[in-house]
Chain A
């Protein structure tokens, strides 16, 4: 068990500045997920924590001790790799026991721990097989087993689920979460998949171009993104960003689209806006904040009605994604399964503007 602290960590690959001054502090027992698009430096950062890469600057502390000069084996960490990295010429049993044997653990203890881990992961019947005789999901379990028998201070996962098919991925995701509840070791998990990040994390660390864009609890990042990038990265389908001119006067604010039409912002949002009377913004509306306007009754505070033509219709079974036009650009609305059925259908929508996000297009920062 250990906490992890990074301060001012930089990493260069030749001319590429992969990690640009990351300060990060992960509490003991926390499940932190490093997430971001490919090339954002998340894997590099994880490998730096593991000791597989040396940082060019900054310090890394695990459990209160600076580990910069320690080899990976001396950091008492365990890691699960994207391609599992099982030892192909050893049986499952030998694979799981490898780290214990390397550390001269007594045979009795090894047998006990391997047995426990195998039972926990449901691979007890596979112990005598070789990795090539296992399916992807089973290999993943063995890789996790190899990590947990070590009783390491810190678990590192490098995109462990990306080689699995969708169904297995969901299954293993829950297992990893359950595992964390059971063994409560500090875990750092790298993924590019925002769903994995949202579902697993105690804390999401969103990286962009080698820097931390924002970190916090999953819902905090989702609901209060600090930048347009964060708003766009989290959520599926991703947030609709519609260019508009924001006109504020007194306590009222209105987003006027170039192609005509406008949305009146609720007073709570308008109150957050100050200064400029008129400015360019991106209006961010999540697909989930659309709904079919029903009954013609009075709308809630901050909810506006909008009439649109359903362009593309993508049913997923539980929900149906519909592409509509707002302010001249395509936007996706997530509706109930049977809310819209026909291409070209005219639909009355309600948009909940209480949770709208306004972004300054120049700086990318969220302004309200």
Chain B
């Protein structure tokens, strides 16, 4: 072993050509495995299912020949698919604003240092912590016509037995799903909005109070513009989740009665794993991906404009 000691600094050992090259590329070498894994888990299935969507694989047939846009053309003739997209749109359009509103009201309630705030916040966030399938199953029990507390509470207030088949009666399935969904995810909005609201500059609110501005004026001129970016991101996250909603509905109604509450995720699942129309399912998935990409791009563009 040789130890070179440089006495005056001028004698520093120059690295070999290979050593220099290694030094230059080292950062890339270090991140390479991570990139590789990401590509493998992220990109490979995506590309593979894209390929599958152009083939004709079903349970009985393993036909890997390419059929062009056949599956995609089929999408446009599939009324059940478009109905399921409609159901998804209805649930999203009602549940998202409701979650936002309930979350905002809860945050407003807590922003002014309510006593026992920490405990309440922790309790309120519980629904968001549990798995959606558990939430759905819990609410199925809550809605149960014989044993469910909802029916009993309603009966108590009505003064006569109220028997509502929440998960079967066509008039009540959507309310049931939306109640469960809002119950689970309004706390998520609440948390984000609470954080956003506590960042609103206190002295601006005080200045507005001294100026004599009404609550609505303060909300419109100061609070909402300040928390708008958070609202946008929260709505984007929840909106994307709502378009993919599955677990709650699966637990509550399984898409029923009939296919009345069948969302696009449920329909995709049924096509893929009951009907085993593998290639067609892949095509549906890509339709959903295209839709979500469109929505996300539009929202992000919109957010940039408001900045």
Q: Is there an interface contact between A87 and B203, defined as CB atoms closer than 8 Å?
A: no
Does A229 sit at the interface, judged by CB under 8 A? Answer: no
Chain B residues with Cβ below 8 Å from A90 are 221
Chain A residues with Cβ below 8 Å from B214 are 102
A81 to chain B minimum Cβ distance, whole angstroms, is: 5
B240 to chain A minimum Cβ distance, whole angstroms, is: 27
B209 nearest in chain A by CB position? A72
Q: Is there an interface contact between B213 and A79, defined as CB atoms closer than 8 Å?
A: no
Q: Is there an interface contact between A89 and B210, defined as CB atoms closer than 8 Å?
A: no
Q: Is there an interface contact between A102 and B212, defined as CB atoms closer than 8 Å?
A: yes
Does B225 sit at the interface, judged by CB under 8 A? Answer: yes
From known contacts A87-B221, A89-B226, A102-B217, infer whether A79 and B212 are also in contact, taking CB-CB under 8 Å.
Answer: no
Chain A residues with Cβ below 8 Å from B210 are 50, 52, 72-73, 77-79, 99
Q: Which of B202-230 contact A (CB under 8 A)?
A: 203-204, 206-214, 217, 221-222, 225-226
Chain B residues with Cβ below 8 Å from A78 are 210
The one of A79, A94, A101, A103 that contacts B207, using a Cβ cutoff of 8 Å? A79
A265 to chain B minimum Cβ distance, whole angstroms, is: 51
Chain B residues with Cβ below 8 Å from A89 are 221-222, 225-226
Q: Is there an interface contact between A85 and B225, defined as CB atoms closer than 8 Å?
A: no
B203 nearest in chain A by CB position? A85
A114 to chain B minimum Cβ distance, whole angstroms, is: 14
Interface string of B252-277 (1 = CB under 8 A from A): 00000000000000000000000000
Q: Is there an interface contact between A98 and B211, defined as CB atoms closer than 8 Å?
A: yes
Chain A residues with Cβ below 8 Å from B206 are 50, 52, 72, 79, 81, 85
B139 to chain A minimum Cβ distance, whole angstroms, is: 40
Q: Is there an interface contact between A98 and B209, defined as CB atoms closer than 8 Å?
A: no
Q: Which of A50-80 contact B (CB under 8 A)?
A: 50, 52, 71-73, 77-79
Roughly how many angstroms separate A72 CA and B205 CA in the complex, as a whole number? 12
Roughly how many angstroms separate A282 CA and B12 CA in the complex, as a whole number? 65
Does A83 sit at the interface, judged by CB under 8 A? Answer: yes
Roughly how many angstroms separate A73 CA and B213 CA in the complex, as a whole number? 8
Chain A residues with Cβ below 8 Å from B74 are none
From known contacts A89-B225, A89-B226, A98-B221, infer whether A81 and B207 are also in contact, taking CB-CB under 8 Å.
Answer: yes
A46 to chain B minimum Cβ distance, whole angstroms, is: 12
Q: Is there an interface contact between A99 and B225, defined as CB atoms closer than 8 Å?
A: no
Count A/B pairs, Cβ under 8 Å: 64
Chain B residues with Cβ below 8 Å from A79 are 206-207, 210
Q: Which of A71, A73, A78 has the most CB of B within 10 A?
A: A73
B220 nearest in chain A by CB position? A89
Does B201 sit at the interface, judged by CB under 8 A? Answer: yes
Does A344 sit at the interface, judged by CB under 8 A? Answer: no
B148 to chain A minimum Cβ distance, whole angstroms, is: 46
Q: Is there an interface contact between B203 and A83, defined as CB atoms closer than 8 Å?
A: yes
Roughly how many angstroms separate A59 CA and B212 CA in the complex, as a whole number? 22
Does A88 sit at the interface, judged by CB under 8 A? Answer: yes
Instruction: Give the A interface residue count (CB, 8 A).
Output: 25
Q: Is there an interface contact between A73 and B226, defined as CB atoms closer than 8 Å?
A: no
The one of B211, B225, B226 that contacts A102, using a Cβ cutoff of 8 Å? B211
B223 to chain A minimum Cβ distance, whole angstroms, is: 10
Interface string of B160-186 (1 = CB under 8 A from A): 000000000000000000000000000
Does A139 sit at the interface, judged by CB under 8 A? Answer: no
Interface string of A213-244 (1 = CB under 8 A from B): 00000000000000000000000000000000
A100 nearest in chain B by CB position? B211
Roughly how many angstroms separate A87 CA and B212 CA in the complex, as a whole number? 14
Q: Is there an interface contact between B212 and A99, defined as CB atoms closer than 8 Å?
A: yes
The one of B203, B212, B213 that contacts A81, using a Cβ cutoff of 8 Å? B203
Roughly how many angstroms separate A249 CA and B207 CA in the complex, as a whole number? 61
Does A208 sit at the interface, judged by CB under 8 A? Answer: no
Chain B residues with Cβ below 8 Å from A102 are 208, 211-214, 217
B222 nearest in chain A by CB position? A87
Q: Is there an interface contact between A52 and B209, defined as CB atoms closer than 8 Å?
A: yes
Chain A residues with Cβ below 8 Å from B209 are 52, 71-73
Roughly how many angstroms separate A89 CA and B208 CA in the complex, as a whole number? 13
A158 to chain B minimum Cβ distance, whole angstroms, is: 9
From known contacts A87-B208, A87-B221, A89-B221, infer whether A99 and B203 are also in contact, taking CB-CB under 8 Å.
Answer: no
A263 to chain B minimum Cβ distance, whole angstroms, is: 50
Q: Is there an interface contact between B204 and A85, defined as CB atoms closer than 8 Å?
A: yes
B132 to chain A minimum Cβ distance, whole angstroms, is: 37
Chain B residues with Cβ below 8 Å from A146 are 207, 211
From known contacts A79-B207, A89-B226, infer whether A73 and B201 are also in contact, taking CB-CB under 8 Å.
Answer: no
A104 to chain B minimum Cβ distance, whole angstroms, is: 10
Chain B residues with Cβ below 8 Å from A103 are 212
Roughly how many angstroms separate A87 CA and B220 CA in the complex, as a whole number? 11
Chain A residues with Cβ below 8 Å from B221 are 87, 89-90, 94, 98
Roughly how many angstroms separate A81 CA and B211 CA in the complex, as a whole number? 13
The one of A72, A77, A87 that contacts B204, using a Cβ cutoff of 8 Å? A87
The one of B201, B211, B222, B226 that contacts A99, using a Cβ cutoff of 8 Å? B211
Chain A residues with Cβ below 8 Å from B217 are 101-102
Roughly how many angstroms separate A87 CA and B211 CA in the complex, as a whole number? 12
Roughly how many angstroms separate A90 CA and B211 CA in the complex, as a whole number? 15
A72 to chain B minimum Cβ distance, whole angstroms, is: 5
Does A150 sit at the interface, judged by CB under 8 A? Answer: yes
Chain B residues with Cβ below 8 Å from A87 are 204, 207-208, 221-222
Q: Which of B207, B208, B217, B226 has the most CB of A within 10 A?
A: B207
Chain A residues with Cβ below 8 Å from B212 are 73, 99, 102-103
B17 to chain A minimum Cβ distance, whole angstroms, is: 52
Q: Is there an interface contact between B213 and A99, defined as CB atoms closer than 8 Å?
A: yes
Give 6 A-B contacts (CB < 8 Å), ordered by A residue. Answer: A52-B210, A81-B203, A82-B203, A87-B204, A146-B211, A150-B211
- 20 more CB-based (< 8 A) A-B contacts, given A50-B210, A98-B211: A50-B206, A52-B206, A79-B206, A79-B207, A81-B203, A82-B203, A85-B201, A85-B204, A87-B221, A89-B221, A89-B222, A90-B221, A98-B208, A98-B213, A99-B211, A99-B213, A101-B217, A102-B212, A102-B214, A103-B212
- Sorted nearest first, the 7 A-B pairs with minimum C-beta distance are A99-B211, A89-B225, A73-B212, A85-B203, A102-B213, A85-B207, A81-B203
